[in-house]
Chains A and B, each alone.
Chain A
Amino acid sequence: EVQLVESGGGLVEPGTSLTLSCAASGFSLKDFKAAWMAWVRQAPGKGLEWVGRIKSKSDGATTDYSTPVKGKFSIWRDDSKTRHYLQINNLRTDDTAIYFCVTEQWGWRGWGQGILVSV
């Protein structure tokens, strides 16, 4: 069973940067390497917002971001650790949200439990 666990959240000051990590288990290394991995956030009392995704290395490990976060968010991956990461720069109060990592592979099969970032 796919399991994703986020870490690195917490209370941060405006204007600072933060890196979230997502650890994957229940994948074979081969399957993780093939998986496109994404981040979705949810502000308090609001809906879901897709913020970005990194493709597999075989697909170029390219990244795509939603328009509101482009240039501010950065995603990368370390397949040897079956992890991917989200860096958020110049944090603002409207970045306060629960951040979920998710695999876009296999019909968006796996979601993390989410981690709170409070600015």
Chain B
Amino acid sequence: QAVVTQEPSLTVSPGGTVTLTCGSSTGPVTSGHYPYWFQQKPGQAPTTLIFDTNNRHSWTPARFSGSLFGGNFALHLSGAQPEDEADYYCMLSYSEIRVFGGGTKLTVL
């Protein structure tokens, strides 16, 4: 089974910009992996932020965006807010199998 890698932790200042990345053990991440980003706050179920590389749901703040960048899948956060402090998980698809990354703990400080 493929391994999906993420930074274990990142810190961003309020109002600042940060990029989270997601890599695949099988090679460059492409749109064919149908990449997703999820946000999870303590004690809550995850919510889906970004689907199919760069599509936001109606509830996803515009300050979040997804892209393919340097062979990785990226989540860009511009203008971080205190409420963005959370765990972020990417997920890639390998044929019919989905694989989550280990998650990035984002601190807004």
Contacts and interface: CB of A to CB of B under 8 A. Distances in A.
A100 B45 CA distance: 8
A53 B36 CA distance: 16
Contacts of B48: 107-109, 111
Contacts of B102: 47
Interface residues of B, number: 23
A104 to B, nearest CB: 8
Contact of B46 (A48, A53, A104, A107): A48
A102 B16 CA distance: 32
A24 to B, nearest CB: 15
Given A47-B102, A107-B52, A109-B48, A64 B1 contact: no
Nearest to A38: B98
A111 B45 contact: yes
B89 A48 contact: yes
Chain B contact residues: over half helix, strand or loop, or mixed?
Answer: strand
Contacts of B100: 40, 47-50
Interface string A82-119: 00000000000000000010001001110111100000
A53 B93 CA distance: 12
Interface string B86-104: 0101010000111111110
B63 interface: no
A80 interface: no
B10 to A, nearest CB: 15
A66 B55 contact: no
A58 interface: no
A55 B57 CA distance: 22
8 contacts: A40-B46, A48-B40, A50-B100, A53-B98, A66-B98, A100-B45, A100-B46, A114-B45
Interface of B: 1, 36, 38, 40, 45-48, 51-52, 55, 57, 87, 89, 91, 96-103
